[in-house]
């Protein structure tokens, strides 16, 4: 068995044994349900606010686009937050608890350690997003009409790519930092920079979210292939830098010695 496979199995075992996987999947399932239900009930809720006050609030009837729009919003905000949380803790928590001092002398290459962590995060995120998409598609079909599968899959791919960028950057922050607090601060910095980049440049990865929003709304949109390329470069770059940084770092024990 290769060292990468051993480490990958250990990481998979960890997300399962610590119940991270199950909690994440249930959360994604709930998010998947929330999007069509919110789209369906929100107009009725808003209209009901005017009742009894002789105010008539007219809300256009919800459509498939509203459900998909809500799905994109949930994924870009709530899911992204959870992904950042999972990724920024992944390396620094092992460092702080002194686990690295125990496993690295067992001839475990540091690159393998980083890549296995990223692959498992990407897998977890991928499965979670699939669950969310499946539930959203089914409930949208039940409450409205079945969304176009090709369009919906495109939205999912764009969101996944955007989330992978955040995951890779948070993993880099986790590798650079010596403490959880520092890792959180660096991750926050990366998020701010990426948001600002989204305002300034068309090739910024956050444009992928905008692209997905337009697709969800069924509006014509020019493809942002430059943003796709930037996202891929950032993912590979962040993981490569994480490996390089960890190879050069001195590993301290749990007592800080």
Task: Kindly state the smallest distance separating residue 178's Cβ from other proteins, in Å.
Answer: 14
Give the contacts of 162 (CB within 8 A, at least 6 positions apart). Answer: 76, 80, 205, 206, 208, 209, 212, 231
What is the number of other CB atoms lying within 10 angstroms of the CB of residue 82? 17
Q: For other proteins, give the closer residue by CB, 150 or 250.
A: 250
Task: Kindly state the smallest distance separating residue 30's Cβ from other proteins, in Å.
Answer: 24
Q: Does 179 bind other proteins (CB under 8 A)?
A: no
180, 96 in Cβ contact below 8 A? yes
Task: Kindly state the smallest distance separating residue 103's Cβ from other proteins, in Å.
Answer: 8
Q: For other proteins, give the closer residue by CB, 103 or 197.
A: 103
- Of 9-17, 191-199, 221-229, 236-244, the window that binds other proteins (rule: CB under 8 A) is 9-17
Q: Does 97 bind other proteins (CB under 8 A)?
A: yes
Please select the residue that binds other proteins; options are 98, 126, 218, 237, rule is CB under 8 A.
98
Task: Kindly state the smallest distance separating residue 114's Cβ from other proteins, in Å.
Answer: 16
29, 132 in Cβ contact below 8 A? yes
Q: Does 245 bind other proteins (CB under 8 A)?
A: no
Q: For other proteins, give the closer residue by CB, 3 or 82.
A: 3
| Total interface residues for other proteins by CB under 8 A | 26
Report the site for other proteins in 102-131 (rule: CB under 8 A).
102-108
Please select the residue that binds other proteins; options are 99, 195, 196, 229, rule is CB under 8 A.
99
What's the rounded Cα separation, in Å, for the pair 5 and 241? Answer: 22
For residue 41, give Cα distances in angstroms to 21, 46, 187. Answer: 30, 9, 35
User: What DSSP letter does each residue of 109-177 carry, written as one string?
Assistant: -HHHHHHHHHHHHHHHHHHHHHHHHHHHHHHHHHHS-PPPHHHHHHHHHHHHHHHHHHHHHHHHHHHH-
Q: Does 18 bind other proteins (CB under 8 A)?
A: yes
Give the contacts of 33 (CB within 8 A, at least 6 positions apart). Answer: 135, 136, 139
Q: Does 251 bind other proteins (CB under 8 A)?
A: yes
46, 57 in Cβ contact below 8 A? yes
Question: What is the Cβ-side half-sphere exposure of residue 158, based on CA atoms within 13 angstroms?
Answer: 28
Q: Does 201 bind other proteins (CB under 8 A)?
A: no
Q: For other proteins, give the closer residue by CB, 124 or 166.
A: 124
Q: For other proteins, give the closer residue by CB, 233 or 254.
A: 254
| Binding-site ranges for other proteins (CB under 8 A) | 1, 3, 6, 10, 13-14, 17-18, 97-108, 250-251, 253-255, 257
């Amino acid at each position: 068995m290769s060292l990468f496979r051993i480490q990958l199995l250990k990481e998979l075992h960890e997300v399962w044994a610590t119940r991270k996987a199950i909690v994440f999947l249930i959360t994604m399932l709930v998010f998947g349900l929330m999007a069509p239900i919110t789209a369906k009930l929100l107009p009725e809720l808003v209209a009901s606010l005017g009742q009894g006050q002789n105010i008539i609030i007219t809300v256009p009837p919800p459509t498939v686009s509203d459900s998909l729009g809500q799905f994109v919003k949930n994924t870009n905000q709530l899911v992204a937050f959870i992904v950042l949380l999972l990724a920024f803790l992944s390396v620094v928590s092992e460092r702080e608890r002194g686990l690295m001092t125990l496993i690295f002398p067992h001839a475990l290459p540091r690159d393998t350690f980083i890549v296995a962590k990223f692959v498992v995060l990407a897998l977890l995120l991928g499965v979670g997003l699939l669950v969310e998409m499946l539930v959203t598609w089914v409930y949208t079909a039940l409450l409205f009409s079945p969304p176009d599968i090709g369009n919906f899959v495109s939205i999912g791919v764009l969101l996944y790519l955007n989330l992978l960028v955040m995951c890779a950057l948070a993993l880099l922050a986790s590798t650079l930092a010596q403490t959880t607090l520092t890792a959180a601060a660096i991750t926050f910095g990366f998020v701010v920079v990426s948001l600002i980049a989204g305002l300034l440049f068309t090739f910024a990865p956050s444009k992928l979210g905008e692209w997905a929003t337009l697709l969800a709304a069924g509006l014509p949109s020019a493809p942002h292939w430059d943003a796709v390329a930037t996202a891929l470069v950032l993912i590979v770059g962040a993981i490569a830098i994480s490996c390089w940084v960890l190879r050069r770092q001195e590993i301290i024990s749990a007592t800080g010695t």
